[in-house]
Every structure is written in C-alpha cells, then in structure tokens.
Amino acid sequence: MAALKAHEVARFLARPDISEGIFLAYGPDAGLVRETAQRLIRKLTEDDPQSANIVVLEGAELDADPSLLAVEAKTISLFGGKRIVRVRGAGKSLVMTLTELRDDPGGAAIILESGNLTPKDALRALVEAARWGRALPCYPDSDETLQALIRETFNQHGIRIDGDVVTLLREILGNDREITRRELEKLCLYAAESKQLTREDVLLLCADNGMLVIDAILDAVAGGNAERLEMALNRALSSAVDIQRILALCVIHFSNLRRWRAEVDTGKSPRAVLDGQRPKPHFSRIGSLEQQLRLWSDKALSTATERLLQATVETRRRPGLAEAGLRRALLGICMIAATH
C-alpha cells in the first residue's frame, strides 16, 4: 500500500520497491504521465524493453470489454521476459477487473495511464489501497523543477549555455513534460558538436515564430518605427498570420500601455511599473516597452486604441480590403508615436 507524493515519484522510478502489481500514473500533465509510464517500463525491464512481453491496450477498448485486461495480465509469456500490460486512458470501468488482480498480480506489471484523478476516484483509491499497487501523481513542472530539468539535461550532454538560456527556455516552454523533453532533445542535437548554446540559438529553434513577429509588430507600431513595421507586417502576412489576430493583440498591447501609463503618471518609473507586472514582460522587450511608455500620453493611447477598434470592425466588414485596412491603421498609429 503506497500513496506517493508528487516529489517522491522520481525517487520511486529510480528504485521501485515492487516489480509487479498495479502502477497508476495519473495527473493533468499528459506528457509527464506518458513519460512516467515509459520510465517505469525501462526500469522494470532493466533498460531493455525489447526483452519484455509488453502489451499496450487502449482504455476505450477496455471500456467495452474490461475482461481483456485480466486475460492479458494472466497470459504466460511464450518466450519468457517480463510481462507488462500498459493501458492508456484507463478509467473506472477497470475497477472490478483490477480488484481481482490487486492481491495476486501473478508476476505481471499493469501500468495504467490516466488523467487528473481526485482522492475519492475509485481507480485511484483502489491502487493506493492495494498491497501490490503504487499510484504515481504527475503534476505540471514548477519553475524550480523545470529549470533543474533544463540544467540537468544540458549537463548530461556536456553543453555549455549562456547565462540567460535557462530563463529564456522557462519563458518559452509550457508545463507539458513531453513538449519540454522534445524541445531539449532538439537543442542537444543542435549543439552536439559545438557543445555551446546561445540565446540566439534558443530563439531560432524553440520560440514561437508567429508570436515573435507579432511582438515585432507591436514594438514597431508603439515605438514609431515605420520601416520595422513594414518588415514585420510583411513577415507576418507571408506566414499567414491572421489579420484579426494582429489587430486583437494590438488592442491588448495598447490597453496594457494605457494601464501602465496610468501608473507612470502617479510618479513611478517605467522600469518599476514593468517590473511589477505579473506575468512580467520578456526581458528582451523591457527597453522597448520603457521607450513606448515615455512616448505615449494617456490621451494619445486612447486615440490609438479607438483607431484599432475601428479598424477591427472595418476589416471584418470588408475582408477583401482587410490587409490594406490593417496597414493603414497601424502606419497611422506608428506616425503618432514618431511625432511624439
């Protein structure tokens, strides 16, 4: 009987205290659930999954016939090797079958993958209460665990990184462990020969290029740089970035500027205002945002926002002229910033 805490899962996976029974990986992070199941399989097979007899079942097919699980768990391997039954999308329909197996797994390891289960969930309760059961909670990475994972991965591959690479990756990556692992593997492969990663490498390989070009548009418009605006718009439109998305994010940006400007007008410095935001703007944009707050007055920001809202209505009403309307509106706002 064992109800592990999330922080105990890594230690358990390194040295499982049982090699047969029912193992339940569950939680809201689907990528981490899959990774936990895969790591457990590697450990139980001593890093040689090919030598084991592994059967993979889907929860949907077991919902129709739960007895299939018992049949697979009790089937004797013809060629020897560890008997492992992996169930993806496991649900409550398996509780009755698992009740029959929990006290006598017969040497088989049943590895269940499920979503976020409450303590009262019948499947989770059964596994936690079973002598031959281990429940492994999989929750999204915190800042600390994600940064530790990033450093550990690069250290294992002997890759040197710029001082701000960990912070940049933390801001770019989400909390899905599978996505994080995939992006880190890509970076390690890229740096396999040079053994060096820079901030520019990370931006090139991992950043959301669509979002980067949007940021370039926002900073060019609010910073009064018409040449950069033209370049950024051309990049965005050639990459099929939606015009309504551009306008919507421009409205949000100028609304934020107006809110921040109100704080500046109370006597705070632009840097202090930006440092106090949650989430904090990306460090690479702080200088540009400071300049924008100095350029724009509250009245001018209000005018710009009204123009953006009007452009949004017009481009929806006349989609054939949407690109021309977008360019006209953003260039007009850009010129307001340039004359301040």
Domain ranges of the chain: 6-137, 143-206, 209-338
Q: Which CATH class is domain 6-137?
A: alpha beta
Q: Which CATH class is domain 209-338?
A: mainly alpha
Q: What is the predicted pLDDT for the residue at 210?
A: 54
Q: Give the closest residue to 243 by CA, choosing from 315, 305, 313, 304.
A: 315
Q: What is the predicted pLDDT for the residue at 197?
A: 92
Distances (CA, A) of 1 to 14, 73, 87: 19, 20, 21
Q: Give the closest residue to 116 by CA, choosing from 211, 29, 203, 32.
A: 29
Any idea which residue has 């979503």 for tokens?
A: 115
Dihedral sign from CA coordinates of 127, 130, 132, 134? positive
**Percent of the chain topping pLDDT 70:** 93
Q: What is the predicted pLDDT for the residue at 175?
A: 63
Tens of pLDDT, residue by residue over 178-207, are: 677 778 888 999 999 999 998 878 877 776
Instruction: Assess whether the previous peptide bond of 279 is cis (omega < 30° from 0).
Output: yes
DSSP helix/strand/coil, 113: strand
Average pLDDT score over the chain: 87
Rounded CA separation 340/330 (Å)? 16
Tens of pLDDT, residue by residue over 116-148, are: 999 999 999 999 999 999 999 998 777 777 888
Q: Which residues pair with 86 in a beta bridge?
A: 56, 111
Assess whether the region 6-137 and the region 209-338 belong to the same CATH fold.
no
| Residue 209, pLDDT above cutoff 70 | no
DSSP 104-136: --TT-EEEEEES---TT-HHHHHHHH-TTEEEE
Dihedral sign from CA coordinates of 62, 64, 70, 72? negative
Terminal C-alpha separation, the chain: 70
Report residue 314's pLDDT band, with 50, 70 and 90 as the boundaries: very high
| pTM beyond 0.75 | no
Q: Give the closest residue to 132 by CA, choosing from 101, 161, 162.
A: 101
